[in-house]
């Protein structure tokens, strides 16, 4: 089954409940990091401390950018579930991907609202 665990605690499946954060590798901000709800605050705090330690400016993550990254992440999770080599029947796939589809719909709705804001 295509389970996607939080890379920070390695415990929680974040396939349908991910939180976009950032990490600093050297002086480069790496943006493609998703963590679980429980790790999110600590991960952002670590990023902020890493920026301050390296003398780099810290800026809060843009909401629109975070939503855009979440939408990509959830679409990737759905794509992983629809891979032909994955031997699951349609009913199981449907049940397993329902929370991901709900999460993606929510993100897309919030993204449409964010686009309307100035």
Site for Zn ion, rule CB under 5 A: 6, 8-9, 12, 36, 39
Q: What's the closest the beta carbon of residue 106 comes to Zn ion, in angstroms?
A: 20
The smaller minimum CB distance to Zn ion, of residues 36 and 100, is found at 36
Q: What's the closest the beta carbon of residue 56 comes to Zn ion, in angstroms?
A: 24
Q: What's the closest the beta carbon of residue 17 comes to Zn ion, in angstroms?
A: 10
DSSP class per residue in 38-58? HHHHHHHHHHHHHHHHHTPPP
Return all residues near 103 (Cβ < 8 A) that are at least 6 apart: 16, 17, 18, 70, 74
């Amino acid at each position: 089954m295509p389970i996607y665990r939080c890379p920070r605690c390695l415990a929680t499946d974040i396939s349908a409940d991910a939180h976009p954060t950032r990490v600093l590798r050297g002086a480069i901000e790496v943006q493609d990091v998703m963590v679980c709800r429980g790790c999110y605050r600590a991960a952002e705090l670590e990023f902020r401390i890493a920026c301050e330690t390296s003398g780099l400016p810290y800026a809060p993550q843009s909401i629109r950018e975070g939503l855009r990254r979440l939408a990509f992440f959830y679409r990737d999770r759905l794509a992983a579930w629809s891979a032909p080599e994955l031997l699951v029947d349609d009913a199981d796939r449907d049940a397993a991907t329902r929370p991901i589809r709900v999460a993606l719909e929510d993100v897309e709705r919030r993204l449409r609202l964010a686009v309307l804001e100035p």
